[in-house]
Amino acid sequence: MTSSKVCVVMVSGSRERLQMAAMVASVAAVSGREVLVFLSMNALPYFVKGMSTDAAAEGKLGSLMEHKNAPDFKTLFEQAVSLGEAKLYPCSMAMDVLAVGPDDLEPYLGEPTGLTRFLDAARDGQVWTF
């Protein structure tokens, strides 16, 4: 049987990957699925308060999304938390490298989590990596 839990590991800082991860998380959350998102590496800096959502595009579609006024990835992630059962966990190691604390991050993020704990929570879920 397929798990209804969707687990997203977000490590890229590209516009297309951030957007796709946010779309997966928000659609799964509003569809009643449990959603766990692990924000690390190049994705985490976009969730520091005041950070721009102007991520670099990998290709033409990424550039077009900006001009077509698609909802940005941070809005979609925030909606996933507020409208569904999504939890976004910042990577504690990436936070240490960036020298940011929990108060520096967007308020809809959960408590900092290590990869070991996230993988344990994701054990019985579908895992998507962006």
Which CATH number goes with the domain that contains 91? 3.40.1260.10
Residue 1 lies in a domain: no
Provide the domain limits for residue 100: 6-129
Please count the CA atoms within 13 angstroms of the CA of 2 that sit on its side-chain side: 5
**pLDDT tens digits, 7-20:** 999 999 999 999 99
Residue 1 has a pLDDT of 43
Residue 121 has a pLDDT of 97
Residue 3: CB partners within 8 Å, gap ≥ 6? 124, 125, 126
Q: For the chain, how many structural domains are there in total?
A: 1
Whole-prediction pTM: 0.93
**pLDDT tens digits, 70-81:** 889 999 999 999
